[in-house]
């Protein structure tokens, strides 16, 4: 059985807690209490939504698996498969065009080109 310790209302594996508190966090400027409090807030805020998304994923996977079992040993019908995926909400209609804006991106990522692979044409 896994040994656990309580941190900010969370049951945390002892090995993970020890690693974070003794190796990962020292020198980072983040105290163990601040880390665990922040993690607890994030998990409580996003946990229900994440569980719902995982349940939806399981539902979709079950329906896709059932479809493949029902169509085993048959030639692939791309149109029928696509229609099925649209029907269950796995494929959605294409949305409007959009642009992605970023802020506070490191210059090494946004502006400074790095080595690039150059492949000769011939």
Token reading at 9: 């209302």
pLDDT at 1: 62
Low-confidence ranges of the chain (pLDDT < 50): none
Element (H, E) at 11: strand 10-13
**Do the beta carbons of residue 37 and residue 8 sit within 8 Å?**
yes
pLDDT at 122: 66
pLDDT at 106: 83
pLDDT at 100: 84
Verdict on whether the full-model pTM lies above 0.85: no
pLDDT at 117: 66
């Amino acid at each position: 059985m896994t040994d656990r310790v309580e941190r900010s209302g969370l049951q945390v594996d002892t090995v993970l807690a020890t690693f974070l508190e003794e190796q990962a966090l020292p020198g980072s400027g983040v105290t163990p209490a601040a880390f665990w409090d922040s993690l607890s807030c994030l998990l409580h805020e996003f946990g229900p939504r994440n569980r719902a998304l995982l349940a939806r994923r399981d539902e979709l996977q079950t329906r896709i698996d059932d479809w493949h079992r029902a169509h085993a040993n048959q030639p692939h019908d791309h149109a029928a498969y696509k229609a099925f995926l649209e029907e269950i909400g796995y494929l959605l209609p294409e949305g409007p065009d959009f642009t992605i804006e970023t802020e506070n991106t490191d210059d090494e990522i946004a502006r400074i080109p790095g080595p690039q692979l150059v492949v000769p044409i011939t």
